[in-house]
Structure formats: C-alpha cells, structure tokens
C-alpha cells in the first residue's frame, strides 16, 4: 500500500468516529499545551535572570571583600607531601583535600585587608581592566541654611560615571574637582526641602563634613569593647585580659600615605548638583545595594580622604572593591587569583549560574508532572485505536484478502496514532501561543504592582526548539500508543473477519 492509500484509509476511519477522534486529540492537546507552557515559562524566568545580571558591566564585575590569607604555597605543598608519605587510602584523600581548601581562620595566617597598596596589587592581575574601591561611611553633614544631620557618603568610580543621568538639579562634579559634591534629594527632604524650587536653591551652597565619633574615642569604643570597671564580678585575670585588649585597640593606626587622597577633617565642599533615586535597570548587581544607601556623592579621591579620617577605617581599609575584567568568561580565573591572596570574591556570573541551574531543575520536575497528562492521552489513543480494530475487523479482512500485507496494516494503525499525536500538538501549539499573551500581560501587571519593577524579558518565549521538541514528543507518543492496536490488527484472521458482522 502506498502512502496516499494509507492516508486515505486513515482519514476515512477518522471520519467514521469523529467524536472519539476529537476527544482523543483534545487529550493530547492538553498534555502538549501544559508541557510547552511550563517549559516556555522556565525559559522566560531564565531569560529574566540573565537580563537582570547582564545589565551594564554586571557579568564583568567582581566584588572583593577582606578575607583570611592562605598558608604559604610551599608550606602547603610540604604538608601534602608529608600526608602522602605517612597516610594511605581514603584518609589520605580527605586530608589532602582539607589542606588544599584550608584557609586557617583570621588568627592562623592573618587577616587580609584592602588597603591602598592592596588595590594596586589587584590592578596587576591579568584580565583586570579597572579596580574601583568602594567608599561608604556615615558622616555628620552641615549645609548652610539647613542645619546638621547624619548622612552616608558613597563613592564608586563606575557609579560616578552615571550621576549625570540621575540629576534633578545642577550638574555632576567635574572629574578633577576635589571640592565638589552631589547630594541625594531624600536627605534634603528629611532636612525640610519639599519642592523642586527649593532643591535648585541648594545648589551652590557649602557643605561641611565631620566624622561621626563615639564618646571616648579610639577603636575600642568604636567596636564596643567595654571598660573592665563597668562589668561586675570579673576575676583579676579576666580584668587584666580585657584591659590589655582595650589598650591594644586604643593604639592609633597610622593613616595612609598622601597618595590615598587623605584630606583634613571638617573640610568644606560646594554642592553642585542634586540627584534622585535611579531606576533598577540603570544599576549593576553590586552597585544596587551600595547606591541605595548613599546621601552624598564625591569624587573617589575626596571620598577616600574623608573615609580614612576615621581611626577604624584607617585600620580596616576599604570595605570592598569592585573589580572589572575584560571579558565575562575571564571572571572565574580572576576570582581564583584573588582568593589565592586571601581576599574573598564574588561575581554575578556565579550567582547567575546557580539561579539558572535551579530554574532548570524546577522546570524539568514540573514538566515531568505535565507528562502525566500525555500518558493519559496515550491511553486514550490506545483505547480509540483498539476500538477501531474491533469496528473495522471486516474491513481488515477485505484488505488482507485483496493482498494487503501485515506490515501494511501495521503501518496504517501506526500512521493513525502519529496523526492523532500531530493533531493534538497542532491544536496545543496554537492554543498555547494564544494563551501566552493574556497570561503574560496579567503576570507583568501583577509583578510590577507587587515589586515596583518591570520585567526585562518575555515570560513566555517560544524558541524554535520548543515546538519542534513538543511535536516530536506528541508524534512519538501517538506512534507508541498505536503499537498494541496495530499488533491486534495484524493478528486478525481474514476468513473470520469476512464473516464478522
């Protein structure tokens, strides 16, 4: 039998049992629809995560924090050699792995802080384009005619470049101007500025800064070490230990060199601009948290000088730096170099990979549940074609009497099963695409209302492989479901079939 003959017999069979065929196709449609929408939503969420993390330089940025130094490389290699010499089996494997990972803690090998000289070391790492120290601290701010209040100073070179986009009054500081600053409108609102005209009048006024100090001075007070006389019941040895610790922390750290940009305390600055809160999509991942806390923006050298006025800051160094690599693919190797010197490093690509892996896993699990609907549809195909064999017994006998071979009958019923799968896929695909638009519109509206953020990617994308894959699943399922009815048709005795009524 030719393909055209097989198609003609298949369509004739469908025409005789329209209701049953339509219901079976709808069963396949439901399973295919659920599968495609779930996978599409998973792809949309992955795309949203990628879009968020890909803003600006996010995937090229590495956030570096102080950490614990590693033991000397030769010392580590020597210890591994001793283990391999003296220990065998699984214990050896575990000990070697532990030595390779061990940092030792802050008192074992020393704390690695980010002082200006350490920033210079980071700039020398291969693939590093730029190192931006993060400066953020609380200061007492005094503006002419407004009074005095605490505010947060922030400076980050990569973020400074976008200050002009956030201006609501005035201008951004000149790159080489060491006496110009910009204020956030929220700080001015809290000082009583409530309209745009008053904001513009602040531009040009003088701002004075003062380090926020705790009573008593010294690092011991700053980090909260109590005086032994304030704690009743201490033994003599405990009192002496606490007093010794206080004296150790009361030692005044030496300030950094003049190259770090240290300026005298209480210096005055000119306010040249007022900025508003940026849109989320204007910020990279690491800038977002820092910028949301800032009240005053100054050029990085000026901010560093103000930051290092505080004793504790001089001792601890920068709270972090944002390092920019030439290509996102090189971030992982740069992180390894940074960790080798004892600093802690995180990059957005690592977080993105974890999020995407989680979303992929969830999508696969939910898609497996949606396959249940397809399995039910497969049972419907088996039932429909099995009934078709019973109803068409005489027709099958006539075909065999006219010379139809067993393989022709097998191909006929397998073709009918695959055509039911094809029909269910086609209807499911059209319904899925049609439903995706209103569902996406509703989803976007809810997310924007609840979070205040707009989506950066489609919730229901349909890449080319999704309909092709769903087509393959539906047709394969229909074909497999038709296998048993096809075997029954092949086993029909033509003599008995001709007598069948």
Give the highest mean pLDDT range of 70-74, 355-359, 492-496. Answer: 355-359
> How many Å apart are CA 408 and CA 154, to the nearest integer?
79
pLDDT of residue 137: 81
pLDDT of residue 104: 52
Residue 69 confidence (pLDDT) above 70: no
Give burial (CB, 10 Å; 0-12/13-18/19+) of 192.
exposed
Reported confidence tier of residue 286, pLDDT bands at 50, 70, 90? low
Nearest residue to 158 via CA among 55, 50, 306, 269: 55
Reported confidence tier of residue 248, pLDDT bands at 50, 70, 90? low
Q: Is 269 helix (H, G, I), strand (E, B) or coil?
A: strand
Within a 13 Å sphere around the CA of 186, how many CA atoms are in the beta-carbon half? 13
Helix axis angle for 465-481 and 406-451, nearest 10°, is 140
Reported confidence tier of residue 103, pLDDT bands at 50, 70, 90? low
Mean pLDDT in residue range 58-80: 77
The residue with greater pLDDT, 234 or 415, is: 415
pLDDT of residue 1: 64
Residue 372 confidence (pLDDT) above 60: yes
Model pTM above 0.95: no
pLDDT of residue 430: 92
> What tokens were used for 29?
């449609």
Reported confidence tier of residue 281, pLDDT bands at 50, 70, 90? low
> How many Å apart are CA 210 and CA 373, to the nearest integer?
68
> How many Å apart are CA 159 and CA 283, to the nearest integer?
8
> What tokens were used for 318?
């920068």
Query: For every residue of 144-198, which 3-state class applies, written as one string?
Result: CCCEEEEEEEEECHHHHCCHHHHEEEECCCCCCCCCEEEEEHHHHHHCCCCCHHH
DSSP string, 89-142: HHHHHHHHHHHHH----TTTS-EE-B-HHHHHHHHTSTTEEEEEEEEEEEEEEE
Mean pLDDT in residue range 195-205: 88
> What tokens were used for 373?
């609907």
Give the highest mean pLDDT range of 252-256, 266-270, 394-398, 451-455. Answer: 266-270
Distances (CA, A) of 350 to 11, 65, 126, 316, 338: 54, 16, 19, 27, 15
Altogether, the residues listed in the chain come to a count of 501
Domain spans of the chain, in order of start: 3-56+353-499, 70-101, 111-342
Distances (CA, A) of 274 to 170, 171, 190, 202, 463: 6, 8, 14, 8, 45
> How many Å apart are CA 443 and CA 449, to the nearest integer?
10
Residue 314 confidence (pLDDT) above 50: yes
Residue 91 confidence (pLDDT) above 90: no
Question: Please, are residues 149 and 141 in contact by the beta-carbon 8 Å criterion?
Answer: yes
pLDDT of residue 254: 47
Lowest-pLDDT range, 44-53, 138-147, 186-195, 222-231? 222-231
The residue with greater pLDDT, 9 or 269, is: 269
């Amino acid at each position: 039998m030719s393909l055209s003959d097989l198609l003609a017999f298949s369509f004739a069979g469908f025409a005789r049992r329209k209701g049953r065929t339509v219901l079976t196709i709808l069963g396949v449609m439901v399973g295919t629809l659920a599968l495609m929408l779930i996978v599409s939503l998973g792809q949309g969420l992955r795309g949203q995560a990628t879009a968020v993390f890909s803003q600006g330089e996010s995937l090229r940025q590495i956030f570096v924090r102080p950490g614990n130094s590693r033991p000397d490389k030769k010392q580590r290699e020597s210890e591994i050699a001793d283990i391999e010499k003296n220990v065998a089996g699984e214990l050896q494997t575990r000990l070697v792995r532990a030595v390779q990972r061990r940092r030792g803690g802050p008192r074992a090998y020393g704390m690695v802080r980010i002082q200006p000289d350490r920033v210079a070391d980071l700039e020398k790492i291969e693939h590093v384009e730029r190192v931006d120290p993060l400066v953020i601290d609380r200061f007492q701010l005094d503006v002419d005619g407004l009074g005095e209040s605490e505010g947060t100073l922030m400076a980050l070179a990569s973020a400074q470049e976008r200050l002009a986009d956030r201006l609501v009054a005035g201008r951004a500081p000149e790159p080489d101007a060491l006496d110009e600053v910009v204020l956030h409108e929220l700080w001015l609102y809290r000082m009583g500025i409530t309209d745009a005209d008053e904001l513009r009048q602040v531009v040009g006024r003088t701002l004075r800064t003062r380090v926020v100090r705790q009573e008593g001075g010294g690092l011991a007070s700053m980090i909260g070490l109590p005086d032994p006389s304030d704690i009743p019941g201490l033994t003599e040895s405990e009192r002496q230990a606490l007093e010794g610790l206080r004296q150790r922390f009361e030692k005044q750290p030496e300030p950094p060199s003049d190259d770090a940009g240290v300026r005298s305390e209480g210096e005055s600055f000119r306010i040249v601009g007022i900025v508003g809160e940026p849109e989320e999509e204007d910020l990279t991942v690491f800038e977002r948290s820092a910028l949301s806390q800032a009240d005053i923006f100054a050029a990085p050298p000026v901010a560093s000088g103000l930051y290092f006025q505080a004793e504790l800051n001089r001792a601890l160094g920068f709270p972090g730096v944002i390092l920019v690599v030439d290509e996102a693919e090189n971030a992982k190797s740069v992180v390894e170099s940074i960790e080798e010197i004892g600093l802690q490093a995180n990059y957005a690509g690592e977080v993105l990979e974890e999020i995407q892996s989680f979303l992929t896993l969830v999508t696969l699990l939910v898609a497996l549940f949606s396959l249940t609907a397809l399995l039910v549809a497969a049972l419907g195909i088996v039932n429909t074609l099995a009934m078709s064999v019973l109803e068409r017994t005489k027709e099958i006998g006539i075909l065999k009497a006219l010379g139809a071979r067993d393989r022709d009958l097998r191909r006929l019923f397998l073709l009918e099963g695959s055509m039911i799968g094809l029909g269910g896929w086609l209807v499911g695909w059209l319904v899925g695409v049609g439903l995706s638009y209103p569902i996406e519109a509703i989803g976007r509206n809810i997310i924007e209302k609840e979070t205040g953020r707009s989506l950066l990617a489609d919730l229901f994308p349909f890449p080319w492989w999704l309909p092709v894959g769903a087509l393959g699943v539906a047709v394969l399922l229909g074909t497999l479901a038709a296998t048993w009815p096809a075997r029954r048709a092949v086993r029909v005795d033509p003599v008995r079939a001709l007598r069948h009524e």
